Copies of this chain bind each other. A is one copy, B any other.
Amino acid sequence: MSARNAFYAQSGGVTAVINASACGVIETARQHPDKIANVYAGRNGIIGALTEDLIDTSRESAQAIAALRHTPSGGFGSCRYKLKSLEQNKREYERLIEVFKAHDIGYFFYNGGGDSADTCYKISQLSETMGYPVQAIHVPKTVDNDLPITDNCPGFGSVAKYIAVSTLEASFDVRSMAKTSTKLFVIEVMGRHAGWIAAAGGLVEDYDIPVVILFPEVEFDQEKFLASVKEKVDKYDFCTVVVSEGTHWPDGRFLAEQGTRDSFGHAQLGGAAPVVANMVKDALGHKFHWAVADYLQRAARHLASKSDVEQAYAVGKAGVEFAIAGENAIMPAIVRTSNNPYAWKVGKAPLSEVANVEKMMPMEFITEDGFGITAACREYLIPLIQGEDYPPYKNGMPDYVTLENVAVPRKLSTDFELK
C-alpha cells in the first residue's frame, strides 16, 4: 500500500504540552515516509478539516517542529466545536470524507479531551458506516485529568506542578505578612467538574502550609468551611484556600457563575476566589488576597513537569506507531507501572470506552472532612510533577516558536458553512 497523508488537529482548551504531542506525531510520521506521506494539520482544529483549511507541516523545518516540544498553546490553532452524531448532522461527516478524499487522508489524529474522544470515535467508524477507509487515533490531552482508563492525562502534570509551586510560593508570602496584614490567601484553579487540579494545591501541606481545598466533588458547606479556615488560622495565624472553579452549592449552583456558556454548552466558570475570600472576611474578619490563575496555569510551559512533557510526546509518537501498525479507534494511554521510583509505559485504550466518560477524583483521595487530600492522593500526584523541563530563553524570555502554518492548496471548489 502506498503512503497516505495524515490529518492532525488540536481540540478544546490547549495546554502547556499539547504541542509536545504534535511534535511527537510529526517527528514520528517523518520517520515513516513509506506509510505517511505528509502530516496536514487542521487550522483551528477540526474546523480546518471542515473548511478545507489544512496546514502543510512539511513546510516547517525540523528545528521548528522540535521547538513545538517546548512551546505552550496550540501551534496550529484549536477550537471548541463538537461534531453531532451521524444521524443528527450527516453533512459534517460527508464533508469530512470529501476533504479527506481530496487530500488522501488515511490517518486521523485528534488531540483533545473527552468531547474530542467522542468525535474521534465517530470518525473511526466512518470506514464502516460511510465506506471511507480512515484510521482514527485519539491523542489524549486535558489539564482536567478527567479521561478514563489512562492513569493521567498529558497536560495535567504541568498544571499540577504549576498550581503546587504557585500555591507554595504565595503561601510563603502570606505567612510572611500574617502578623499585621494578609492572613488568608485564596487561589482559584481550573478543572471544571473534576478536582484534580485543586488536589495539586494540597501538596503544599508537606511544607507545613495550612490549606483548605474546595473540590467540585464535594458539595460546598459554608459552615464547615468557615470552621475549617478558623481552625487553621487559630493554629498557624494564616491559611491558604484552593478553590476549584467547579465548586458548587448543594443545589448545583457554582460559587461564582458568570452566566455565560461555551459553545459546548458548558457554563463558563470563574470568580469563585473573590466570593470565598469575602465570605471569610465577613465571617472572621481576616484581611485577604486572592488570585485567579486562569490561562496562566494551563499555559505555563516555563514550569512544565518533565514527566508530563515526556508523556505528551510519547502519546503522540505512540499514536502514529499504532496507526502504522493498523490500529483504529484507540487512544494511547499512560500506564503506571511503579510509584517509587516512578515508571510508566504507553498502553492502548479502546475509544468506545473513553468517549464521553468523565473521571472524577476517587473519594478515597479526599480526606473525610472534604477539605484535603489523602496519602493515596499524594502518592498518585507526586510522580506526575517530577522533573523540570525548562524552555530555552533568549533576551530573558522563553524562545517559543510560532510556526509558518502555510496552507495546503485547496482542491475542492465547494465551501462549507460552519453550523
Binding site for B on A (CB under 8 A): 10, 13-14, 16, 44-45, 47, 71-75, 77-81, 161, 164-166, 168-170, 172-181, 185, 187, 203, 206-208, 260, 262-263, 268, 270-271, 273-274, 281, 287, 289-296, 298-303, 305, 382, 385-388, 390, 393, 395-398, 400, 402
Contacts and interface: CB of A to CB of B under 8 A. Distances in A.
Contacts of A263: 180-181
A51 B281 CA distance: 27
Residue of A178, A179, A274, A400 most packed against chain B (CB within 10 A): A179
A291 B293 contact: yes
A302 B314 CA distance: 27
B295 A174 contact: yes
20 contacts: A13-B177, A14-B177, A44-B179, A73-B169, A81-B180, A161-B396, A165-B398, A168-B397, A169-B296, A169-B299, A170-B296, A173-B298, A181-B263, A207-B400, A260-B281, A290-B292, A290-B294, A302-B303, A382-B395, A387-B396
Contacts of A174: 295
B71 A172 contact: yes
A62 B262 CA distance: 54
Contacts of A274: 270-271
B397 A176 contact: no
Q: Is the interface of A mostly helix, strand, loop or mixed?
A: mixed
Given A289-B294, A292-B292, 6 more contacts: A14-B177, A71-B172, A72-B173, A173-B298, A289-B295, A293-B296
A72 B295 contact: no
B398 A393 contact: no
A165 B291 contact: no
A402 B281 CA distance: 28
The 3 A-B pairs of least Cβ separation, nearest first, read A74-B176, A73-B172, A385-B396
A208 B290 contact: no
